[in-house]
Chain A
């Protein structure tokens, strides 16, 4: 399974005021709020954590067929950085997800997978050709096998990802 989330940081700044009273309490755990308050760039940290939750939720939603607005139940932990990419894990009850994120000045680009090794099997697709939807969930057919696809679009950015064997 795969989920992704892309955030145009300039658009996020215009669309959302995370400093609004009560806002973070609704979407971030105590530990995540601490990370934000201690971050050198709190704006980037808010949207980084949000992208992890969104990407992980896409997999959770596909696996469980459960829909809900559950940011507080998606907990981001175990952060690592290898100098290029940010890695983390997102927990939701018994479910766990692995994430990989590339952050630039104006864009946060996160991919989540349900099995750690799948991070190595991520491919970017450059068009929506051949992508179909079943129960609102995108997939593509490769050699008669359904491959999950995840699409994210925000402001100036769009990314379509899938898994290869």
Chain B
């Protein structure tokens, strides 16, 4: 799976929690889950758990703290996949 494919998987995970659909349609790596997509912070937990399941990785607390943007999420996924 390359980065573009990983973005697509991530987008599918994020989509059900998005409140600002316009920002979702123009999503880039810099897009912020909370300030751009208006995702409820309680749903960030669901995104973390869904990412763990979809990529078969475990996201430690220190990584979760940084998971606020698409780019940060992709970087964490890549780091965790590389560690496997």
Chain A interface residues toward B at CB < 8 A: 12, 15-16, 20-23, 26-27, 50, 54, 67-70, 72-73, 136, 154
Are A26 and B42 interface neighbours, CB within 8 A? no
If A68-B68, A69-B65, A136-B35 touch, whether A22 touches B49 (CB-CB below 8 Å) is yes
Tally chain B residues at the interface, Cβ within 8 Å: 17
Consensus secondary structure, chain B interface = helix
Are A68 and B49 interface neighbours, CB within 8 A? no
Q: In the complex, how many angstroms separate the beta carbon of A155 from the nearest chain B beta carbon?
A: 10
Q: What residues of chain B lie closer than 8 Å to A50, measured between beta carbons? A: 42
Residue contacts A-B, CB under 8 angstroms, 16 given: A12-B42, A15-B40, A15-B43, A16-B40, A16-B46, A20-B46, A20-B49, A21-B49, A22-B49, A23-B49, A27-B42, A54-B41, A68-B65, A69-B41, A69-B66, A136-B35
If A50-B42, A72-B61 touch, whether A26 touches B66 (CB-CB below 8 Å) is no
Are A26 and B35 interface neighbours, CB within 8 A? no
Are B42 and A15 interface neighbours, CB within 8 A? yes
CB closest chain-A residue, reference B61: A72
CB closest chain-B residue, reference A5: B41
Q: What residues of chain A lie closer than 8 Å to B40, measured between beta carbons? A: 15-16, 154
Q: In the complex, how many angstroms separate the beta carbon of B7 from the nearest chain A beta carbon?
A: 20
